[in-house]
Amino acid sequence: MKLTILLLFFCVVGDDTKKGDFFMKESKMRVWIEGAFAAAFAMALSFIPLDFGPAFSISIGMVPVLVYTFRRGTLPGLASGLIWGLLHVVLGKAYILTVSQGLIEYFLAFTVVGLSGLYAKPIQKSLKEGKGHFGINLLIGVTIGTFARYLIHFWAGVLFWGQYAMWGLGPVVYSLVINGLNGLVTGAATYIILLILAKKNQNLFLPK
Ligand code: 218
């Protein structure tokens, strides 16, 4: 919450538009408010019990953060992902083993979801033109952020979660199985939901 207020503060104070250009400021403000809302909505979805202990979870909060990222681009997406990760810690929904593990899994991993924004332009373009590439572009966009996030969880898994390895697996293979599975299921569920949302209301992905 403090971060949200801080972000809003900086986007007003650090505005690079002409002095007195109230409407530009207002539209920038709107971008950040949408990001905070997407993060809050993602956090609410994180309370739906789709997790089975610290190892396995379908992270459906990816949906609002990625809608926002495809709508507004990489930097806003990174900020929204960071807020979503922070909310896990603030609301006691985080599995924290050590400070560095907490930082890696709840600051870094959630933030890199915003890298999906690197594909925001092709997604918006194909959606506007109504050509057949939208499904593929969306798949690439979802894959970038999901892969980046679960690569970090994989790395954390090797470093910090090896002691919990099941089925007699070593830390690397165990982390690969758990985080590979989490990433695949989360990515697939997110992709399907985003496809349905885009069919119902394509304006969700197009900036005002
Ligand atoms: C092998 C392994 N087990 C557990 C974790 C922790 N982990 C994995 C995926 C997602 C998240 C964030 C909350 O859903 C966490 C904490 C791991 N990295 N590796």
Could you report the average pLDDT of every consecutive run of 10 residues in the chain (208 residues)? 43 45 75 98 96 89 98 98 98 97 98 98 94 92 98 98 94 98 98 97 92
Predicted confidence at residue 7, as pLDDT, reads 43
Q: Which of 128, 118, 9, 105 is nearest to 59 (CA)?
A: 105
Predicted confidence at residue 20, as pLDDT, reads 52
| Residue to substitute in 51, 97, 179 for testing ligand 1 pocket (most ligand atoms within 8 angstroms of CB) | 179
Predicted confidence at residue 157, as pLDDT, reads 97
32 CA from centroid of ligand 1 (Å): 28
* CA pair distance 185, 32, nearest whole angstrom: 29
Predicted confidence at residue 83, as pLDDT, reads 98
Query: By the 8 A CB rule, do 146 and 179 touch?
Result: no
- 45-54 long-range contacts (CB < 8 A, ≥24 apart) are 46/84, 46/88, 46/93, 47/93, 54/95, 54/161, 54/164
53 CA from centroid of ligand 1 (Å): 9
* CA pair distance 54, 202, nearest whole angstrom: 35
Strand spans (E) along the chain: 51-52, 56-57
> Could you identify the residue written with the tokens 């007003």?
12
* CA pair distance 48, 65, nearest whole angstrom: 16
98 CA from centroid of ligand 1 (Å): 13
Tell the residue nearest (CA) to atom 14 of ligand 1. 57
Predicted confidence at residue 197, as pLDDT, reads 98
User: Amino acid identity of 130?
Assistant: G
